[in-house]
Amino acid sequence: MNNKIVGIVLIVIGIALIMWGYDVYDAAASQLSRAFSGDTPIEAWAGIIGGAICVLIGIKKLK
C-alpha cells in the first residue's frame, strides 16, 4: 500500500518536472541562446531527465 502511494507521488512529480523542463527549453531566452550558441540550458535537461527518472521509478514502485 505504501509503495503504491510513493509510486503515484513520484509519477506526478516526474510529470511536473518534465513539463517544467520543457517550459524552460521552449522559453524565448532559451531559443535565442540555442540559435546563437547552440547550447541548451542545464535546467531544461535536468528537468526532463530527472522527471523521466522519477516517472520510471514511480512505475516500478507500482508493480
Domain count, the chain: 1
> Which residues in the chain belong to E strands, given as ranges?
none
Say what the pTM is: 0.85
pLDDT-derived band of residue 34, with 50, 70 and 90 as boundaries?
confident
Q: What is the pLDDT of residue 32?
A: 85
Element (H, E) at 17: helix 2-26
Q: What pLDDT score was predicted for residue 36? A: 87
Q: Which residues of 13-41 are buried (b: 16+ CB within 10 A; e: fewer)?
A: ebeebbebbeebbeeeebeeeeeeeeeeb
Does pLDDT of 31 surpass 90? no
pLDDT of residue 16: 97
Please give the residue range of the domain that contains residue 37: 2-62
Residue 1 has pLDDT above 80, yes or no: no
Q: Is residue 52 scored above 80 in pLDDT?
A: yes
**What's the Cα-to-Cα distance from 62 to each of 5, 12, 49, 55, rounded to whole Å?**
8, 13, 20, 11
